Structure 1
């Protein structure tokens, strides 16, 4: 691999004798992995279902290494949301964050969604996950991945981090800042990161990281946990960024220990040689099977005095509480198609956005977030059309097959691909809406009539070939 000369010179000066080992790591194949979606099944069950070999990831119970020649996104189980394709060392940051059921968690730089869906699985449908992404196109991908994995309690926002402060000031128990960075740890995996790298880019990233961390501080509850991570080797974006942050804000660093990861933050790479920096974690490709990362875990003081002024008043939300009359077609659908306990769990949280029906996460004040650009507010149940309710893809992916009354569970892989291509299925089923699954897990909806299941898999998600 042809590395930039300025990068090589910088790393040689920093790493000394370990520099040659770093260079050698770039000649090794990239490490590929998948992470089990524990909203749907356990890791052992997934491993038994897959047609390719897996090897466990030491620091993540749900994670597996797979051979770099495997194409995991070409398997129907991927479309059923049983796993997320994720580089193994990228799983470490959420392990450090350690979200628990009931937590309010913010993933501040969330696309494409690997860490958000990992957080969502840990929350087990309780609490609230706010997944924010500034870039429009990436935010759309984030939202789709959250739907595919069956999350019901997520809000997806498309905002500058500072725009979230008025809506969520000191609201979160835990915040993940997987900061935009110079990407030095991803050179082997991402040719784009290599092509875009420069010393000037490092400086630009530092400026963004400072602003993002400032917003994160204002969004985190006193006593809350902030995890900062990057995929760069740059001390300016790692140790030095955290050193400056804890000098400015009331935080203490907590020692990070993860199985199989031995490198820690380098005190000698900071300006003031603060020994606390050794509590941070470095993931180096010479000592770990994976790409390069940096992680810091910070605990906010319980005594915090901020002078920030929150804008008073509330905006009018475009989402409005659905009335019994407005819900008639949905209630008919739910009665005929869904298990009572599933629909009952959301019955007091049903809101309309135009013709779209959402089940919003418990505890969210809609007026407080009305000024934000929202791509998703909880679970999208479906759409009201003339004299009928049409269930949505997100609802299908949130359902277990046992929670639907009319099910077509495919066991033939070719039929599963036929469905994923958007084709009708020549199969008998009870007339009406059908939850189509593959080997026990939902893929999406169809509508049955006269020996044919008409396909309702979203057009934008359909595959072209196996």
Structure 2
């Protein structure tokens, strides 16, 4: 049972649209959320994923605002986070409403290239990985997270989902307007908020709700949206979203921006974003999703176009010195390319550059180069391989993100054993093949050393699981 304290109800009653009732809001707030997932099209097509999971007892209902999002029901209840398909990044467990902001960001984009994209508050990575999929791993996606512990979670999810076009930063997002003035084509600001919309997932979310706390949050939201607008290129588009319900944290923050930059702010109407989007649309054209409208979490989404350049609020800061990477030489690139092609039939994407740091070889998005020195990045692109005395050693995240046809396909039982860190015995002895990629459902799982009589497990220790969910048919 959700804890809806009276202070919150009294406050929110003024913001509830006239066609909705408080009785329905309270009733839906006490209903459990429908389980929802998003298929990761960087690794598998939606049709192939549905064909893979239907025999395991999954029923799919399409989420109208996300082409690859589904509400699911399971005939056999298993813990989704421990399934093979989740661990190899074929899907993301994501609340349906949270799929809205990236959809809005990419819908009917005024700037169709959307080459430079910023996600200002990224962790744990549901929207970041959704954006990367919408970008098809092209262009450059900068994903920022303020919390140090959450940066690790963000990177783990980016690696699991096979994202290759991302650079991670770890800042208070209020610095982007200063450091990256008018640098991005598209920006998502999923702002920190009071979390009023998450009551169905967390019954205690509003137990200690206090209007004074909200006032402090609103000030932060205004500073963040200002920073985002400063970092946005003229002609670029910004999506501001929260999982809050009050006008204070939503409409009023957007109207503050309009008041601050009246000549440069244009609100984009989202009433046709998806069928029946108009049911949640405000007079300004924003989506104010209450739980009872679509049987989901509460959410707010606004899309804003920057129609003109704005005055820079702060001077350009000094650039970062001592960038620790350098571009790989033509000889190094040739040797690495030959290793990847010969050993795994992997071809590096054309829109990427190979960089070196000590004995490490990294793949950076080609568009990253103009950003070198502008601010400090935690992690750029992905680590491809380590240089050895003779040759190279490919990294797990490269295997995860770069498709390779040279694999050994594992059964359900073998894939489960592999993810638990175990070696896999071969039924008959064959000539050893050395480093080999193993896959499940046609998607890579990781590396083994093929010894002829068994596959020696090379899964990184931090990815080894104690338990893997099993379906009755497996």
* CA distance 1:371–1:298, shift in 2 (3 Å): closer
1:290 aligns to what SS in structure 2?
Answer: coil
Question: Residue 164 of structure 1: CA displacement?
Answer: 3.5
Say whether residues 1:157 and 2:169 are aligned partners: yes
Say whether residues 1:97 and 2:105 are aligned partners: yes
Query: How many equivalent pairs are there?
Result: 449
With 308-317 and 31-40 compared, the bigger mean Cα shift is at: 308-317
2:362 aligns to what SS in structure 1?
Answer: strand
Residues in 2 aligned to 1:447 and 1:200: alpha-carbon distance in whole angstroms:
59
What does residue 361 of structure 2 align with?
A: 357
In the TM superposition, what are the counterparts of 1:62-211 in structure 2 within 5 Å?
62-67=68-73, 71-98=79-106, 103-191=115-203, 193-195=205-207, 197-211=209-223
* CA distance 1:455–1:369, shift in 2 (3 Å): farther
1:207 aligns to what SS in structure 2?
Answer: helix
* CA distance 1:370–1:309, shift in 2 (3 Å): closer
1:176 aligns to what SS in structure 2?
Answer: strand
**TM-score (ref. length: structure 1):** 0.89
1:217 aligns to what SS in structure 2?
Answer: helix
What does residue 322 of structure 2 align with?
A: 316
1:304 aligns to what SS in structure 2?
Answer: coil
Contact 1:397 1:443 in 2 (8 A): yes
Say whether residues 1:390 and 2:393 are aligned partners: yes
In the TM superposition, what are the counterparts of 1:257-272 in structure 2 within 5 Å?
257=271, 258-264=274-280
Give RMSD over aligned pairs: 2.4
Residues in 1 aligned to 2:244 and 2:337: alpha-carbon distance in whole angstroms:
51
Say whether residues 1:255 and 2:263 are aligned partners: no
1:397 aligns to what SS in structure 2?
Answer: helix
Q: What are structure 2's unaligned runs of at least 5 residues?
A: 469-474
Residues in 1 aligned to 2:133 and 2:373: alpha-carbon distance in whole angstroms:
24
What does residue 231 of structure 1 align with?
A: 243
Residues in 2 aligned to 1:102 and 1:207: alpha-carbon distance in whole angstroms:
29
Question: Residue 383 of structure 1: CA displacement?
Answer: 2.5
**TM-score (ref. length: structure 2):** 0.88
What does residue 348 of structure 2 align with?
A: 343
* CA distance 1:338–1:352, shift in 2 (3 Å): same
2:51 aligns to what SS in structure 1?
Answer: helix
Question: Residue 431 of structure 1: CA displacement?
Answer: 2.4
In the TM superposition, what are the counterparts of 1:288-299 in structure 2 within 5 Å?
288-299=294-305
Residues in 2 aligned to 1:117 and 1:446: alpha-carbon distance in whole angstroms:
27
Q: What are structure 1's unaligned runs of at least 5 residues?
A: 267-276
| Per-residue CA distance 1:385-417 (angstroms, 9 max, x = gap) | 454522112111112242xx3x2111x211111
Higher relative contact order, chain-length normalized (CA < 8 Å, sep 6+)? 2
Residues in 2 aligned to 1:97 and 1:417: alpha-carbon distance in whole angstroms:
37
Residues in 2 aligned to 1:429 and 1:117: alpha-carbon distance in whole angstroms:
40
Say whether residues 1:219 and 2:231 are aligned partners: yes
What does residue 47 of structure 2 align with?
A: 44
Question: Residue 7 of structure 1: CA displacement?
Answer: 1.0
Contact 1:133 1:157 in 2 (8 A): yes
